[in-house]
Structures are given as C-alpha cells and as structure tokens.
Amino acid sequence: MRRNRRTTPRTARVLGSLLLVAAAGAFTVGAAPAPPKTAPAPPRTAAVPLDRVVPAPASVTPGGAPYRLTRATAVRVDGPAAVRRVGAYLTGILRPSTGYPLPLTDGGSGGIRLHLEKGDYGAEGYRLRSAPSGVTLTAGTPAGLFHGVQTLRQLLPAAVEKRTVQHQSWEIAGGTIEDRPRYAYRGAMLDVARHFFTVAQVERYIDQLALYKVNELHLHLSDDQGWRIAITSWPRLADYGGATEVGGGEGGSYTQADYRRIVSYAASRYVEVVPEIDMPGHTNAALASYARLDCDGVAPPRYTGTEVGFSSLCVSKDVTYAFVNDVVKELAALTPGRYLHIGGDEAHSTSHADYVTFMDRVQPIVAGYGKTVIGWHQLTGAHPAEGALAQYWGLDDTSAAEKEQVARAARAGTGLILSPADRVYLDMKYTKDTRIGLTWAGLVEVRRSYDWDPGAYLPGAPAAAIKGVEAPLWSETLKTSADIEYMAFPRLPGAAELGWSPAATHDWNGYKVRLAAQGPRWDALGIGYYRSPQVPWPHG
Ligand code: NGO
C-alpha cells in the first residue's frame, strides 16, 4: 500500500503531536498563542526532515516534536555586533515570507536563539537544537552561526524563500544537528573577464554561494579578453583593456570602490574574495593597453575571441615586474583576504625557462604584500613558493606524469585546491543539448559532478595537502545571471557538499533526494536551474 502522510486525519495528527510534545517534557502553556480567529487556518505542512540538508551535516540526531514559528517568535542574539548582524540577516529572510514581526532582541530564551560559546565548534562549525520551546544555534564564531542559519533556512518549507507573505505553518523538525566542514577552503570561481558581470550580479551569486556554505569567491579579474579592475597607477588597463569582452560587447570593469563593495558584501556572507590576475599568459588585454609591456614594444589589438595561449608578458623586461608590483600592491591593499591568485595556466607562448624565471620573481612580490600565492597547477612545474597553493584543473584522464608533478609538489608542502575540470567546471555542458557551455573537458551531468572523493582523487597526494574544492565558472558562453545560474545549479551544491561534508556521508542515492528538495527553494528564489533527469525533482 502506498502511504501518504497528508492523508492522516487531522485530529489524529494534532493528538499525535500533543503526545509527542508532552513526551518531550517541553510543553509550556501559552508558548504558542492561538492564531487570531480571523486568520485563515494555516494548512498543515510536514516539517522538512532534519537530514534533508545540503551540504549534509556532520551529524544529525532527529527526535522530539518540532518547533513552530509564530507571530510571537523573537530572534534572540547575544554576543558581539557580528552576532546581531547574523540575526538581522536571518530576520531579513524570514519576515517577508512568514509575515511575522520576528523582533531581534538581546538575550532571553525561547524563540530562535543565536549564541556564541567556547566549545569544540572549530572556526565554522555550529550546533542546531530544535524543540517545541525554541531553536538554538550555538557556535564558536559568527561564521559558524551564519552557516547554521543556512541550515535553519533549509529546515523550513521552501516557501520561506519567497518575498511575499505565504499563509502556511512554519515548523522546524525536532532534534539536533552538529556540523563542521571537512575542508577550510570551499570555493567558487566566477570569470568576469570573458564576459563582464556587474557588482549586483556578483552579489547575487555570493548570496547563492552562501546558501551552500561556500566561503571563497575566486574572481578571475583579467584575461586576454578583458581587464576588469581599476589599477590607479596603470589606468588604461581598465579604461581601454576593460572596454570589451568575448564577442565584442562593451565589457566593463570595477572601480576600486566597486571592488571594495563586492569584498564587503562577500564578508557579510562570510565569503572571502580571492582576486586573480592571470599571468604570464592570458594577458592580451594588458598587452593591448600598454605597448611597453610587449617584448617588441608594439601593442596588439584587443581580443574578443575564445582561443587562448597566444599572449605572454615579456619575461626579460624590468617594466614587467614594475607592472606586476604595482598591480599586486594595489590589489593586495584592496583585499582583506589572505590569498592572491596569479594564474599561471596555459602559458603556451612563454618558454618553460621564462615561466620559471617569471614565477620565481613574481611569487616574492605577492608575499611582500602579505598575501599567499595561489596558482593554477602548472605552477608546480616551476618552484611553488613556501605556503603556496596549487589549483588542480586536470581531468580524470590527465597523464599520470602531470598528476605526479602535482602530487610531488603536494608531498613537498604545496597545498592543493581541487577543481577537476570534468567534475566541477560549471561551464561544461550537462549534455550535448545544453544551450550554453563548453565541452572540452567532456559532458558533466550532475552525478558525475558529485560522485568523487576529494580526499582520494589525486594519486600520491597526501590527504593533509588537500585544502578544499573549488567550482570554477568560466564565462566564454555566459552573459547573464540566468546563464550563471543555469550552469551552477544543480552542480554547485554538489561541489559545496564535497568541500563541507564528511566523506562518510557521501552517497549519490541519498544526495539526489536531498538535492531534489532544493528545487522548490530555487523556484522560490527565482533561480532557473537545469532539471537533470538524474534527480527526482518533486512534481509541479
Ligand atoms: C581552462 C582555461 C580557461 C578557460 C577554461 C574553460 C583554465 C585554468 N584555463 O581552465 O582559460 O576559460 O578552461 O573551461
């Protein structure tokens, strides 16, 4: 017989939940005032099971009756201003859809409580406890509370994400979640060079990343087709080099104030910005802007195609390093984050000797401004600086020799960020019929994107060298936020889960059910996604 929860008679359900509440010993008279007589009776909706969260939490212990939000619920915060800001972020999500006032108050008990305490939470972990008397989020840091808020969102019905009042009940299943990330680096990259995206578009993506506890936004700020960040000492980079893009559109660039806005918006979502200036290849926009950067002193025309590998900074000229120094100095000053990405991929027009010379000179410049170098994994073919991270973007079938070069560097202390292109390059088409995207790394359906283990991916690389996972989104074929979202969803949450969740939770069959439950949330948020046939989306 098929069972359907919704067919249980209402009286039996009410009695059942009263019994559960009483059994939990938490029934307090008057805790939840009866709705006013005039209000329409809210339809019953089953609470989202505690184990429906993406990324999968480290530990889930369901139990006891749910908590129900009411008109009387308060959001209680104690601790520094940052905790209050996380509380305000939460009320900003809950008020429009519930229509409840949800006052933000200091201390007290009951309602939804955000609370810092010393404990074994780590830098980003949290605990969520839900019972009829209230929901308490506890963490050691505001970042942990923020991640806990993302879990809390997913435990409410999908309609909580709508921006107009929804008349329904809002319950959070009873139990406890204890959670912390597997990896400290959980990234997404956005290529704003091939097509330019505005501050508002980047902020929209940041909000989407935060839903899945991604904490690093790598911005690919320069490439052959465009230079996207104003550098005061080299103004033509943005003014001229930024004024085009793939296909010949008008391009664009961020003023330094724009960039600061992105950085601070990201920080409000506990996301660190990792700026990338790709060097020594992928530099046509810079070479077109300043003839003196070219070995022959002749500036090439600006470039709007998609073939790459033809440009190189002039490794033998001193002005090259003066240029790099100025750019890195300004960018480092604008960036509170720890990292500065120097690219280093596809330097096909730079000899190997020149590449090594260039990296030997440029990495100390980055260190001199207090930043840690990240480079694409070709950096491991030179001399990665102490503490540098290499970002692996090979394929499953990349040659054993190339993988071994990266693994050897990892054994010698270089940390790795994993972005295997035939797994987590979000710009790869899902199927041959995907309307945008590239295919050079293959077709990457949702399962393929999720079904690998970062800890065991690269033969010979010690587990401790793996710092995390990043999902790059290159924009040769992407022009709008709708394009970004269609390629990122539903694969981005899988990459985020690989970065956050313990390996023991990894299971495609369980994941696809949790992922399916995200669909109605994306609908409510206005995110258009690829309805992969591999995922059992709810009907409707
Ligand atoms: C490669 C290449 C990029 C392309 C991208 C497209 C890296 C690190 N370099 O990835 O220039 O945009 O593929 O998928």
Query: How many structural domains comprise the chain?
Result: 2
Instruction: Supply angle C-alpha 531, 150, 469, rounded to 5.
Output: 70
How many Cα atoms sit within 13 Å of 291 on the Cβ side?
Answer: 5
Mean pLDDT over 249-263 rounds to 98
Helix (H, G, I), strand (E, B) or coil at 202: helix
CA of 59 to the centre of ligand 1 (A): 37
Phi-psi region of 166 (alpha: psi -120 to 50; beta: other; left: phi over 0): beta
346 is catalytic: yes
If asked whether residues 99 and 163 sit together in one domain, one would say yes
pLDDT at 44: 52
pLDDT confidence tier of residue 45, bands split at 50, 70 and 90: low
Q: Considering the domain boundaries, does residue 384 fall inside one?
A: yes
Q: What's the distance, Cα to Cα, between the start and end of the chain in Å? A: 23
As a whole number of angstroms, the distance between CA 452 and CA 501 comes to 13
- Dihedral sign from CA coordinates of 462, 467, 471, 476: negative
**CA gap 449, 426 in Å, rounded:** 9
Tell me the pLDDT tens digit for each residue of 370-416: 999 999 999 999 999 999 999 999 999 999 999 999 999 999 999 99
Ligand 1 centroid to 427 CA: how many Å?
9
Atom of ligand 1 nearest to the CA of 428: 14
What mean pLDDT is predicted for residues 177-192?
A: 98
CB atoms within 10 A of CB 107: 10
Ligand 1 atom 13: residue of nearest CA: 474
Mean predicted lDDT score pLDDT of the chain: 92
pLDDT over threshold 80, residue 447: yes
Distance between CA atoms of residues 392 and 416, nearest Å: 7
Distance 66 CA to ligand 1 centre (A): 47
CATH number, residue 99:
3.30.379.10
Mean pLDDT of 262-276: 98
Residue 525 falls inside a structural domain:
no
Ligand 1 atom index nearest CA of 440: 14
Are both 304 and 280 inside the same structural domain?
Answer: yes
Looking at the predicted structure, is the pLDDT value of residue 4 above 80?
A: no
pLDDT digits (tens, 9 = 90+) for 365-383: 999 999 999 999 999 999 9
pLDDT tens per residue across span 55-107 = 999 999 999 999 999 999 999 998 899 999 999 999 999 999 999 999 999 97
Least confident of 45-54, 179-188, 307-316: 45-54
Q: Of all atoms in ligand 1, which is nearest to the CA of residue 474?
A: 12
Is 8 within the bounds of a domain?
A: no
Q: Are residues 344 and 412 in the same domain?
A: yes
Assess whether 190 and 172 both reside in one domain: no
Residue 22 has pLDDT above 70, yes or no: no
CA 475 / ligand 1 centre spacing (Å): 9
Residue tagged 């000899």 (tokens)? 351
- Which residues does ligand 1 sit against, CB inside 6 Å? 308, 345-346, 376, 393, 425, 427, 438, 474, 476
Q: What is the DSSP string of 464-524?
A: GGEEEEEEEE--TT--SHHHHHHHHTTHHHHHHHHHHS-GGG--HHHHHHHHHTTHHHHHH
Same domain? 395 vs 483: yes
pTM score of the predicted model: 0.92
Name the closest-CA residue to atom 5, ligand 1. 474
**pLDDT at 1 (0 to 100):** 24
The residue whose C-alpha atom lies closest to atom 7 belonging to ligand 1 is 345
CATH code of the domain containing 266: 3.20.20.80
Per-residue pLDDT for 24 more than 80? no
- Look at residue 108 and tell me whether its pLDDT is greater than 90: no
Q: Are both 242 and 306 inside the same structural domain?
A: yes
Distance CA 468, CA 420 (A): 12
Could you give the CA distance from residue 329 to residue 335 in angstroms, rounded to a whole number? Answer: 10
Residue 171 domain boundaries: 59-179
Ligand 1 centre to CA of 437 (Å) is 12
Same domain, 142 and 204: no
- What average pLDDT score do residues 281-307 get? 98
Q: What is the pLDDT of residue 540?
A: 62
Is the pLDDT score of 34 beyond 60?
Answer: no
Catalytic residue among 178, 203, 346, 402: 346
CA dihedral 518, 522, 527, 531 (to 10 degrees): 50
